[in-house]
Copies of this chain bind each other. A is one copy, B any other.
Amino acid sequence: MSRMTDTSPTHAFDIATHLEPKPDGNLIGHTSDAFWNFTGPFGGTTAATLLRAVMEHERRIGDPLAITVNFCAPTARGAFDVALREVRTNRSTQHWTAELSQPDAGIAATATIACAIRRSTWSHRPLQPPPAAAPETLPALPTEGMMAWMGHYDFRFALNMPRRMGRVPSAEPASALSHVWVADKPARALDFLSLTAIADTFFGRIFHVRGALLPIGTVSMTTYFHADAGDLAAVGSAHVLGVADAKVFNKSYSDQTVDLFSRAGALLATSHQIVYFRDVAA
């Protein structure tokens, strides 16, 4: 596999996560206005871009198993560098580190990525997906007028559709749990890159709990993959079901947990975040 692509990407997600080699051995990418978030690019595309650096590297072995991205600072609109380093390659596992930086602005994100050659083994799935109405039977969340990146996903809430939100939190906390079908819009065959981004598409849990759009920011996000490339290819462009929840909100930070299931009921990935929130008077 070569870094050089024969054809330029045409899907907005592939454009947003596209990387080209630089003469100094690093890679160069560009932020995409199509995936803009509050104060920088959607974190899901940042994570997917760092994973793409590994996926397109000729020395990669196996499939991604784990990715952790630490968001150190907002990425400014424009070009960025990705520095990738092969830390260690064993017989069936491989470890990488990656950094996203911008000239004069320093490092915006770091990542560690583990790949593995997976073998067919005894399999056991204690966690099964919750019952959820089929996505075709649910309304798509309107995304007009919302942050740009949201327009690139089809969201169908099976549980805990967000209410119309203002800036003033509710007095009583509501449930943090939501069940959401998510697919790329326009459709795109699922792969590790899009699954990595989808793991970050779930709204800040505090939006659900407080019923208000409060300032938040992910500090660190980790996703584990429980499927190999063939399993993901079998999903095609079907929606995946995300079960998103939170366990605690305390002293400026909350967690977020996400389980991502295929329509066939297989747990494809589990993802976790630690998220800053700014408190406002209730």
Binding site for B on A (CB under 8 A): 65-66, 68, 70, 72-73, 87-88, 90, 92-93, 95, 97, 99, 106-107, 110, 112, 114, 116, 118-127, 169, 173, 175-176, 209-210, 219-220, 222, 224, 226-228, 245-253, 255, 259, 267, 270, 272, 274, 276-277, 279, 282
Contact = CB atoms under 8 A, between A and B. Distances in A.
Given A72-B88, A222-B272, A249 B112 contact: no
Given A72-B88, A106-B88, A121 B270 contact: no
A250 B123 contact: yes
Given A107-B87, A277-B121, A65 B209 contact: no
A114 B209 contact: no
B112 A68 contact: yes
Contact of A209 (B124, B226, B251, B276): B124
Contacts of A252: 92, 116, 118-119, 121
Given A90-B73, A125-B250, A248-B125, A274 B112 contact: no
Q: Which 4 A-B pairs have the closest CB atoms?
A: A127-B247, A121-B279, A118-B251, A72-B88
Number of this chain's copies in the assembly equals 2
7 contacts: A112-B112, A119-B279, A121-B249, A122-B169, A122-B249, A122-B279, A127-B248
Contacts of A227: 250-251
Given A73-B90, A126-B176, A255 B276 contact: no
Contacts of A259: 247
Given A72-B90, A93-B219, 14 more contacts: A66-B220, A68-B70, A87-B110, A114-B274, A116-B253, A118-B253, A122-B249, A125-B250, A126-B173, A226-B250, A227-B251, A228-B251, A247-B259, A250-B267
